[in-house]
Structure 1
Amino acid sequence: MAGQNCGATIALLGVLLLGAARPGAEASEIALPPGSDITVLIKPGTPALPLKPCYIIHNKRQLTTLIIRSGEKVNFSFNCQNPEKHFVIETQKSIDCMSGPCPFGEVALQPSTSVLPTLNRTFIWDVRAHKSIGLELQFSVPRLRQVAPGVSCPDGVTYTISGRIDATVVRIGTFCSNGTVSRIKMQEGVKMALHLPWFHKRNFSGFSIANRSSIKRLCIIESVFEDEGSATLMSANYPDGFPEDELMTWQFVVPPHLRASVSFLHFNVSNCEKKEERVEYYIPGSTTNPEVFKLGDKQPGNMAGNFNLSLQGCDQDAQNPGVLRLQFQVLVQHPQNESNKIYVVDLSNEQAMSLTIEPRPIRLSRKFVPGCFVCLESRTCSTNLTLTSGSKHRISFLCDNLTRLWVNAEKTISCMDQRYCYKRSYSLQVPGDILQLPVQLHDFSWKVLVPKDRLSLALLPAQKLQQHTSEKACNTSFSYLVASTVPGQDLYFGSFCPGGSIRQIQVKQNISVTLRTFAPGFQQEASRQGLTVSFIPYFKEEGVFTVTPDTKSKVYLRSPNWDQGLPSLTSVSWNITVPSGQVACLTFLKERTGVVCQTGRAFMIIQEQRTRAEEVFSLEDEVLPKPSFHHHSFWVNISNCSPVSGKQLDLFFWVLLTPRTIDLTVIVSVIVGGAALLLVALGLIICLVRKKKKKTTSKGLSVGVYNGNVNTQMPMQPKKFPKGRKDSDSHEYAVIDDTMVYGHLLQDSNGSFQRPEVDTYRPFLGPMGDCPPSPPLTGSRAPTAKLTTDQPSSSVPAESESEPYTFSHPNNGNTDIPLLDTHKPSEPEE
């Protein structure tokens, strides 16, 4: 494209200069010597411009085409000032090397450009020779550069070279100036065309013809390198099909202090009936010449000195021949320090693993950029190389800067037998052979597959992990990216790095864990990497994070899919451990989540694991709770609804541990409370004394009577009360019904009693253990504090304070009991 623009610019400049130099079209005269076998044809250009007709004036006649043959002399002119926009001129010379000797040597332009009108000119030489005769076109400096057909050269000067196979013309290629092609040898004749723009003053052909012996193939193209550089070359008739069962050769001349590498840019193969399409290399010093490769193989590299490359066709299927074509690049550069060093990558004991060494994305430059190749067994080189498990590989590098390459690897761990997989563990660690390579490891991904709805997975890091957030970014040289690989589920759990407080991540189904590096210093920190994945009993939540906060810093946590929002109808929990003697402050960074539900409700549950009290919040309607303090380990659980598009659920909070202390206000409250209890006790004693005196005179109706049949004396102990129980009133006490005292407060305007409104919740009926709280019914809205029984079921062993807890809701069949009011969180009391 750049060449086309440049050529158009030069053409426009030539139009302006010559248009300004000549006021009108001048008369021209062309005289062709007899026996020169030259024909000149002036014809309309393509496309013709019909805006203003222009004609050739010859013998007072208006012509659109004029032919001048050998031995003729013709005068003509044009009736317009810009004939170059309407006409082109072709000069064709026939050279017969079959009936007589060929005129070898430098080829001249006949007639000279100085006598031709200022039109776009094409000089054509048609040389016919016997099949046993080889002809060689030699090009002077600057040499030629091959381009695809239809591409314009920057200076407008273009060579088109064709050969012959019997009566069939075969296009060898289109060439511009400033390249590496120095010679082209052909057999059975050649047709050479030189295209010059009308404003170009060039008056020489730039090539010569020499006689050579039979080459026994279609053609040989010689490419000469004097220093570092590259050349792109194409098979004959490209992009059309290479002739059937033909042979074409490229000869490369490379200084011995440089190294050459071949890479195929594009190729197609045809349908062969006989033989096989292939490429053959002749490399000086090789003990296996010729070295044969298929077109799909990795091609040789790191070659010192001259070498040949040949393309061999086959006998094609007549009904469906297909197309054989090849476009390739030869890159020549100085040898690198790593080119002679061999690295062994042993994947013989690995399964379902692949490793790719490839170029990392870089900005393109117009300057020459040395190639970066990976070589297998020092000879088969390419810009990228993929190694598979089950084999041992020997590789080397031909690259000026190894930071231009990186490594990406992938391994699949699949365990589908539930009985065999249960409680099994696998280490997710980068093999040492990969770490010893001199190129950066970019990604190493493990895909872990489990039996659907039968087992889940737990990730246990060698060092506790930190979740990457904007408030606290990872500053390590690598991190782990954890995502679900369940088809149709877009769930990204987050990016995690060592040095945090997350000691376990549990996921429901198949996941992908990717170790991604961010700096070359990963080799120094490689000892910090290491995950263990275990197969655990199946659970229904998408993920459970077990967090043990550090006492020195805040722990920032955010919900999965932070950018897109938690997927619909999914639930995630955080199991946060509070060590003994510490208090955890739970703070949400936003007042509201912003989620808008289309169907269902979104809830959050905060549940203390020791007291078994939980608070339920609607994430759609309510403001998130203020900072709260927790003395014991607790759960944070969120359950999503089906949100409206654009109003997704995301949650961001932090946890901070502080030492547990007794506040002065707590001490004052205890003292005041103790004094109050003492006064109440004295008042009760006085009341009981007065009541006793009244009973001696008159016995009223007892509100409540203690069972006097119970023996209150310990065995073998003397009696301490001289009076008998039947004569004493110490076993009688009063029971005051609250509704008798405060009943008037519960009456409505009609005098009937009101019953307080109660919330509902869904009881947790699952197994006891490390399970998060279950979400409430979708009808729940108000925050609710629920108190459960103090003792767990006798079938569950007691757990220490640092262990996770599971809570079971009481379900006695009576849901009419009013629940306690929930107060705002306050500073904890001892």
Structure 2
Amino acid sequence: MAALTTPSGGVQALTLAPERGSTIRIRSRQVNGCKVCTGSGRTKRCSTYLEVKDNDSVTVAFDCSRPEDVFNVEIVRNIECTTKSCNSHIVLADSGPLALAGFNRRFSWNLKSAKAFEIDFSDGGLRQIKVTDRCPDGHSYTLQAFQATGGVVIGKYCRVGRIANVQILNQGDFSVDIPAGEKLQRAQFDVHLGDEIKSLARITLMLPKGTSSLELLSPNYPESFPDDDVMEWYFEVPNKHKVAVRLERLTEPVCLKKNTAVEYHNRARGAVVVGLAAPQPEQRQGNFTLTLRNCEMDRRRSGSSGLAVRLLVSSSSESFPVSCNVDVGELGVDSLRVKKMRPTSQCEMKVNSVLKEEVTLTSKADVSFQDCLPEDVQITAETTIGKPTFQGLAACVRHLKDCPKTASRLVIPLLPACFPAPLSNMTWTVSPPRQATVELTSPQGYMRQSFPDQPCNDSVVINLEEDLGTIGQFCPQGAIQKIQIHHCNVTVTVSHTGGKNLSEHVMSALIKEEISERYIVTVSPKRNTPVFLATPGWPSGMQDDSTISWIVSVPEKMEAHLMFFHLSQPKCRTRHTNIKVLQIGHREEVYSRREDEEADSEITVPGSFYLNMSNCRPERGHFSVITKITLQDSISRLLSIVLSVVAVLLVIFIIVLIVVCVVIRKKKKKLSHQVSIYNPNGTSFLPGHNGFPETREDDDHVYTSIEDTLVYTHLLRKGKEIDIYGETDTYRPFTGRTEACKPPPAPRGNDQGLVDNVIYQTDGQSEVEHSTNLGPRLEPEGGN
């Protein structure tokens, strides 16, 4: 990396050759004084800062005897993470001779990622210290996050601690500072792609067993935490331990928008939001996340110091029962079932002081839990329409007229805080009166069907069943507006696979009049979002002789493209299976197929339609199919668009053609010359001006006599020179033909005059005779 020259006066010259992918920066701690120089003679350049990039060898000299007391050296490398992996790890090692060991050195790694990157410190861990503190081994580690507003110091750390890994959003920096004369300790910290985080950074800490404590500081401490930002700490807590958090040395900002707060998230109780000045809740239920939120600060006021806080975290073991006095009736359910899931765990559950592995509570009871984690137990609840959860549905068990006219919420009860885990699933049973229908909707928007290869993204699963079997599994956020089920007992089970609290209100139920089908599903697809619809009971098949109808709404000027796949047809004993498509408002079917007919795999429907399917009574096999619906622009609309475009282009072409013709005509008029036209009737005119005279009598005198010498003097002179004309300058009649002269060529058209202003006559012909033999009067070209 560097070769060192050591004159008697101290370190004065260095030859720097950075490794590939690294950069060496030499920066003075003083504004004036010693400088670092490159080159010699006229090319010599000196400054307080020098940067040498990879694969470049530079010899530098210092104009002072002790440059190591003035300059710091930084060696920078870059690590980039793609969507799949990161191209390198953080490797702490001095390579080559220790040429720079006499300087205070910093080894830095700039890290970039499209989302977040994670640095793993699990081999020994880190612990946070104040900015002014020093580490025992002389190696101090600093983490920064880069934002659009600038860099933010996440913290300063020493080796050996409880910090296992750190995730930073998008871009950051990790650096190690060592004093002059110290050798860099070898180590490696792996760099990986991080999780999807929405905070500035997320630090994971692993608390030890027994009693322990640690100190954490807000970013930029003791300066202010960034404006309107979020910081997260995730604590992994050993079994049978409790954690206490205290906030000290707190300075709060003046807020313009939002409020500062601390949030606690765990699997058992969800989120708890606490003010910074309020007592912080003790954590007794396993791992949790502590989130520090800042507000939009008013920094214009004098004395507004921003947000800075010191967090003291202490943990200790505990082994004592947590008691609960449970009244199932007050929860609004028929029964509450608690089951121990891990036989090897230390969890103990007692009901009325009796140890139980599984218990179903239906009334009041005293329950206690000791050393139970959320993953140790499963809690489920069930209820019927007779409980207050249904808000009036119990009144219409026998008569439809007594049923409420608006949908009733299926409310999920909130368990007492003493329970070690949240409710994993909630089941309702709805029994409508005879000749009635159960209608189910989701208050969070439309639903979609769940399939093995298309599970629910948010981990909330809605399972619908009836007396004869499963109807299907559904998720929130889809295209299914409502599901109607003909008279039968309907069971709705809502569960959460992620171990989090279920939403208080997931489904709504309404009892309505009887429908003609067994099931009716209303669907409203969206453009560019395919909708998948499966027959009830898929993949097992529909119930015998059952029917289903999907009412599909298609927006105007669009059409639906249907694809049928995973089609399974039975051999029918009686009746037939049928797949029919009928456009709403039309009598003719768009599509119809039975089990003994070859079905089309794709069809197109121009508008809203009914998709009806019916099952037979099978001899063997079952009837099931999945339908994929995709919206697209209708052909008629596309044709109208094409015709409109063509019509517009045609109009533009005609306009351009007219403009071109007008321009050309104007140019022709400007370029046309005025010429006199010979008229044998004795009338002279100019084309395009005064028109033709009506009679000749008014202008008979014009051509009676013309003095040639006034008009053709130049021709007479030339004729005289070549002996055509004599001495006299008067007109001589033509006496005949000579061999030396050829007869004049025949005229090319009626508008070709002989010579302007000259009258031609043959011998023995008077002027009158000549006039009468000219033939009919001709209209000149170009006249009006």
TM-score of Structure 1 vs Structure 2, range by shorter chain: 0.3 to 0.5
User: How does the TM-score come out when normalised to structure 1?
Assistant: 0.35
